[in-house]
């Protein structure tokens, strides 16, 4: 589904990724864990083409997208729930969802919207409320719903649990599990390593711009190094 080959990404003159290779197969949930500043978000944003990789290849469903424009990449079956949610604060919940379905027909939008409301009944209640006035958890639901409106075959989630209450985090992870049942491939970045690896088929550990470990989610959970570094011993 998604293949990253020897990716190097720079911010100005600083190299943030020093040759990262990751594969996400169709239907999988793959988690990427790592400390702050390890380059997790950079890796996801490189997939989206902002910034573009300085060298290496990004291949989505067999097509090289390394040099494609962000707006073109995001129209080719991939959607992102970015770090910090980034819902449009001044737009209503419904308008936010419609921005997600920008390139679909009205009928498709209506259908996807009902689907999203089915997943998150709370969003239906808040349909005409401005997104900026909602709680963090509701905004996260909206960000996921907005990504689903594009009818993606693959969804990228960047720290969906950040800053949320434990009960909400549990709900969010349930939804992520549900996405797999719908046949959507999930690429998940998390600091909440325990839950992320529990859910994942496979996982990668990123450290200082390099992949240190890769294994199945269960094996990584059992790995003493991972336990020490990311699971609090």
Q: Which residues bind another protein (CB under 8 A)?
A: 48, 50, 69-75, 79-80, 82, 84-86, 88-91, 95, 98-100, 102-103, 132, 136, 146, 150, 163
Q: Which is nearer to another protein, 132 or 177 (CB)?
A: 132
Q: Which is nearer to another protein, 81 or 199 (CB)?
A: 81
Q: Which is nearer to another protein, 74 or 220 (CB)?
A: 74
| Tokens of residue 203, six digits | 């996982």
CB of 191 to another protein, least distance (A): 16
Q: Which is nearer to another protein, 28 or 68 (CB)?
A: 68
CB of 6 to another protein, least distance (A): 24
How many whole angstroms separate alpha carbon 11 and alpha carbon 143? Answer: 26
Cβ atoms of 40 and 192 closer than 8 Å: no
How many whole angstroms separate alpha carbon 32 and alpha carbon 9? Answer: 17
CB of 73 to another protein, least distance (A): 8
Cβ atoms of 168 and 140 closer than 8 Å: yes
Percent composition of the chain: helix, strand, coil (DSSP 3-state, to 5):
40, 30, 35
How many whole angstroms separate alpha carbon 61 and alpha carbon 1? Answer: 5
CB of 90 to another protein, least distance (A): 5
């Amino acid at each position: 589904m998604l293949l990253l080959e020897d990716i190097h990404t720079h911010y100005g003159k600083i190299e943030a990724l020093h040759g990262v290779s990751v594969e996400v197969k169709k239907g999988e949930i793959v988690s990427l864990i790592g400390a702050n500043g390890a380059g997790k978000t950079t890796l996801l944003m490189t997939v989206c083409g902002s910034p573009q990789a300085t060298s290496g290849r990004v291949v989505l469903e067999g097509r090289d997208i390394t040099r494609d424009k962000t707006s073109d990449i995001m129209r080719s079956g991939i959607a992102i729930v970015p770090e910090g949610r980034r819902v449009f604060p001044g737009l209503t919940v419904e308008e936010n969802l419609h921005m997600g379905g920008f390139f679909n027909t009205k009928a498709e939008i209506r259908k996807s919207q009902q689907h999203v409301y089915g997943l998150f009944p709370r969003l239906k209640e808040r349909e005409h409320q401005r997104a900026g006035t909602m709680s963090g958890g509701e905004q996260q639901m909206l960000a996921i719903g907005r990504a689903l409106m594009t009818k993606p075959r693959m969804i990228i989630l960047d720290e969906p649990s950040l800053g949320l209450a434990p009960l909400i985090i549990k709900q969010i992870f349930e939804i992520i599990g549900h996405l797999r049942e719908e046949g959507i491939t999930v690429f998940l970045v998390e600091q909440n390593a325990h839950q992320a690896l529990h859910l994942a088929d496979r996982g990668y550990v990123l450290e200082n711009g390099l992949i240190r470990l890769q294994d199945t989610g269960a094996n990584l959970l059992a790995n003493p190094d991972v336990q020490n570094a990311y699971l609090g011993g």
